[in-house]
Amino acid sequence: DVALVRTADPGRAAVARAELRASAAAYGRDPDDLRVLAALDIDLGSGEYAAAPGHGGGGPRPTPRGPLYRGGPVDLAELIAAWHRDGTVDGFHLRPVEPGRDLERLVNGTVSLLRHRGLFRTFYPGGTLREHLGLARPANQYAVARGAS
């Protein structure tokens, strides 16, 4: 129902999303019931925009631990908006490098900008991740079918 792709390249992420959706369809599943999220480590530093020269910036870059975005909350909002606009992925799974610093900057900077653009919701309709992602509850494989003996 949810797949994480770990790539710094939006083209590769889009290809992975297309392949995963095609695979779901080939197995008789509705591709719209699959959410493909880009897994991304984030280092928001202390500036509002791109990182200082020599310290990253310009979008995520590959690292041995996976893709890393290093820059400010404004540029991260731009990156998320661009990947959303292009249909690259259905969402993001962001992991702050320094949670004590990065979470505050993520919420008050990046999320605020995305909400202003209408790209981040302000209300969540349910109490589970499945409900937040708009995914139907799967049938319980252990429940006894009605009318079965």
At residue 128 the predicted structure's pLDDT band, cuts being 50, 70 and 90, is confident
Asked whether the predicted pLDDT for residue 140 surpasses 90, the reply is no
Looking at per-residue pLDDT, the higher value among 96 and 51 belongs to: 96
Q: Average of pLDDT values for 62-90?
A: 91
Rg of the chain on CA atoms, in Å: 18
pTM of the model: 0.78
Whole-angstrom distance between the N-terminal and C-terminal Cα of the chain? 31
Spatial separation of the C-alpha atoms in residues 42 and 62, rounded to whole Å: 12
